[in-house]
C-alpha cells in the first residue's frame, strides 16, 4: 500500500468522526446544551488519533521527504498544510480549555463551544479535501519508487507501534460506534420535542385560567407537532427503525413495538382533532377551546409517556437486536432524511420555533 493510500484510509476515519462532531454542534445550537461524554470522545479522537498518530506520518515522513524532493517548507502548498496542522493544535487546545473551565467554573455559554468546534471541523474538512485532491497526487508524482518503499516501511513502523498500543483498534471501534448510533438522532429530536411539550403544557394551563387561547402560540404548537414531530421525527421511527426491527424478528402485532406503533396512531388522532378545532378555538368558541385544550393535554401526556418508553425500553433493545450493519444502514438512512430536511429548511425553522415557544 502506498503511503498516500494509508493516509487516505485514515482520512476516511477522520471524516466519519467529523460528521458525528458536526451533529454535536447542531445539537448544541438546537438545545443550548452540550453532552460531555460525546464531546469528550470526539476531542479525544482528534487529539490522540489525528494529532498523535496521523499528523506525524504526514509531517515527519511524507512532508519531510517532499521537502527533500524540492518542495518548500516555508512557501506554497506544503507550508500551508504545516500552518494548518499548527492551527488544528491551537483550536483544539482552545476547546479543551473551554471544557475544563466549564467544568470548574461553569456553566459557560454553550454557543462559544459550538462556534469553536464548528470552526475546527470546517478547517478539518477543507484540509482533508485539499490533501486528498492536491497534495497526495503531487506526492505520488514526485516521489521515486525508492521513496515510496522507504515511506511505506516508515509508516509500517509507526503503525506497528500504534497497533501494539491498541490505538488503531480503540479508535476504529470509536468510529464504528459513532457511525452506528441512529437512536442518538432520535434522542436529540426528543429533546427538541420536550421543549415544545413544556410550552404546550404552559399554554393549556394558562388558557384554562383565562378561557381563551393565544392564537400565535397555538398555531405554532400545531405547526410544530404536525410538520416536525409527525412529518420528520416519526417516519425515522415508524418507517426506518421499526421496519428494521421487524426485519430482525420483532413482532409488530404484540409486545413493545406493537404498543409504540399504536401510540403513533393515537398521537395522530389527537393531533387531527386539535387541527380540526384550532380554527374555532382561535375565534374564541368556548366548546372548541375546551376540546382543543383537552386534546392538547392528551397529546402531551401520550407523547411524554411514548418518548420515555422508547428511551427506557426500545432504544436499549435496539442495541441487542440490530447488527452493526443494521446500525450503519439506519445511520445512513437517517442522514439522508436529515439532509433533505436541512435543504428544505425544516430543521432551522422548527428548531427556531421550538426555542421561541420555550421562552414564551
The CATH number assigned to the domain holding 194 equals 1.20.120.520
User: Do 141 and 37 sit in the same domain of this protein?
Assistant: yes
User: Do 156 and 15 sit in the same domain of this protein?
Assistant: yes
- pLDDT value for 118: 95
Tell which wins on pLDDT, 175 or 229.
Answer: 229
From the list 52, 69, 60, 71, the residue with the least C-alpha distance to 14 is 52
pLDDT digits (tens, 9 = 90+) for 35-61: 888 899 899 889 888 888 889 899 999
Distance from the Cα of residue 344 to its chain's centroid: 18
- pLDDT value for 109: 94
Q: Distance between CA 161 and CA 270 in Å, rounded?
A: 60
325 confidence band (pLDDT: 50, 70, 90): confident
Residue 164 has pLDDT above 60, yes or no: no
Joined together, the cell numbers standing for residue 145 give 519508487
Q: Distance between CA 353 and CA 55 in Å, rounded?
A: 42
User: Do 86 and 146 sit in the same domain of this protein?
Assistant: yes
Q: Which of 153-162, 254-263, 306-315 has the lowest mean pLDDT?
A: 153-162
Q: Distance between CA 88 and CA 51 in Å, rounded?
A: 8
Q: Are residues 234 and 185 in contact, defined by beta-carbon separation less than 8 angstroms? A: no
Q: What is the mean pLDDT of residues 77-99?
A: 95
Q: Last residue of some domain: 154, 179, 204?
A: 179
- Residue ranges making up the domain that contains 280: 182-358
- pLDDT value for 163: 53
pLDDT digits (tens, 9 = 90+) for 297-310: 999 999 999 999 99
User: Do 125 and 228 sit in the same domain of this protein?
Assistant: no
pTM for this entry: 0.59
User: Do 86 and 124 sit in the same domain of this protein?
Assistant: yes
Q: Distance between CA 223 and CA 317 in Å, rounded?
A: 32
User: Do 153 and 187 sit in the same domain of this protein?
Assistant: no
Q: Which of 87-101, 128-142, 151-165, 202-216 has the lowest mean pLDDT?
A: 151-165
Torsion, Cα 20 24 29 33, to 10 degrees, reads: 170
User: Do 192 and 170 sit in the same domain of this protein?
Assistant: no
User: Do 189 and 131 sit in the same domain of this protein?
Assistant: no
Query: Considering its fold, how many domains does the chain have in total?
Result: 2
197 CB-contact burial (10 Å; exposed 0-12 / middle 13-18 / buried 19+): buried
User: Do 330 and 216 sit in the same domain of this protein?
Assistant: yes
- pLDDT value for 158: 80
Q: What is the overall mean pLDDT for the chain?
A: 86
pLDDT digits (tens, 9 = 90+) for 187-222: 888 988 898 899 899 889 988 888 888 888 888 888
Q: Are residues 155 and 4 in contact, defined by beta-carbon separation less than 8 angstroms? A: no
Amino acid at each position: 500500500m502506498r503511503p498516500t493510500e494509508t493516509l487516505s484510509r485514515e482520512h476516511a476515519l477522520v471524516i466519519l468522526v467529523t460528521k458525528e462532531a458536526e451533529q454535536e454542534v447542531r445539537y448544541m445550537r438546537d438545545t443550548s446544551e452540550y453532552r460531555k461524554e460525546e464531546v469528550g470522545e470526539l476531542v479525544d479522537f482528534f487529539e490522540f488519533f489525528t494529532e498523535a498518530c496521523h499528523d506525524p506520518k504526514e509531517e515527519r515522513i511524507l512532508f519531510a521527504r517532499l521537502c527533500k524532493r524540492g518542495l518548500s517548507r516555508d512557501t506554497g502548498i506544503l507550508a500551508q498544510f504545516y500552518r494548518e496542522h499548527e492551527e488544528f493544535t491551537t483550536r483544539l487546545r482552545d476547546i479543551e480549555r473551554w471544557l475544563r473551565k466549564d467544568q470548574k467554573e461553569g456553566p459557560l455559554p454553550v454557543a462559544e463551544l459550538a462556534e469553536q468546534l464548528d470552526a475546527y471541523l470546517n478547517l478539518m474538512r477543507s484540509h482533508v479535501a485539499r490533501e486528498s485532491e492536491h497534495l497526495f497526487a503531487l506526492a505520488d508524482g514526485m516521489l521515486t519508487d525508492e521513496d515510496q518503499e522507504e515511506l511505506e516501511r516508515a509508516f509500517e513502523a509507526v503503525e506497528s507501534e500504534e497497533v501494539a498500543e491498541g490505538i488503531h483498534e480503540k479508535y476504529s471501534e470509536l468510529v464504528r460506534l459513532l457511525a452506528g448510533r441512529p437512536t442518538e438522532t432520535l434522542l436529540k429530536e426528543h429533546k427538541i420535542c420536550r421543549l415544545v411539550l413544556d410550552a404546550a403544557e404552559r399554554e393549556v394551563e394558562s388558557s384554562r385560567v383565562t378561557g381563551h387561547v393565544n392564537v400565535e402560540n397555538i398555531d405554532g404548537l400545531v405547526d410544530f407537532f404536525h410538520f416536525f414531530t409527525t412529518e420528520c421525527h416519526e417516519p425515522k421511527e415508524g418507517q426506518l427503525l421499526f421496519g428494521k426491527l421487524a426485519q430482525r424478528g420483532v413482532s409488530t402485532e404484540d409486545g413493545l413495538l406493537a404498543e409504540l406503533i399504536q401510540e403513533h396512531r393515537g398521537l395522530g388522532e389527537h393531533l387531527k382533532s386539535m387541527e380540526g378545532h384550532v380554527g374555532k378555538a382561535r375565534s374564541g368558541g368556548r366548546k372548541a377551546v375546551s376540546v382543543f385544550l383537552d386534546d392538547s393535554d392528551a397529546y402531551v401526556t401520550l407523547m411524554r409517556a411514548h418518548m420515555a418508553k422508547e428511551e427506557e425500553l426500545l432504544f436499549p433493545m435496539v442495541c441487542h437486536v440490530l447488527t452493526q450493519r443494521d446500525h450503519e444502514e439506519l445511520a445512513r438512512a437517517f442522514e439522508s432524511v436529515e439532509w433533505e430536511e436541512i435543504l428544505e429548511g425544516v430543521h432551522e425553522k422548527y428548531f427556531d420555533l421550538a426555542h421561541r415557544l420555550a421562552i414564551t
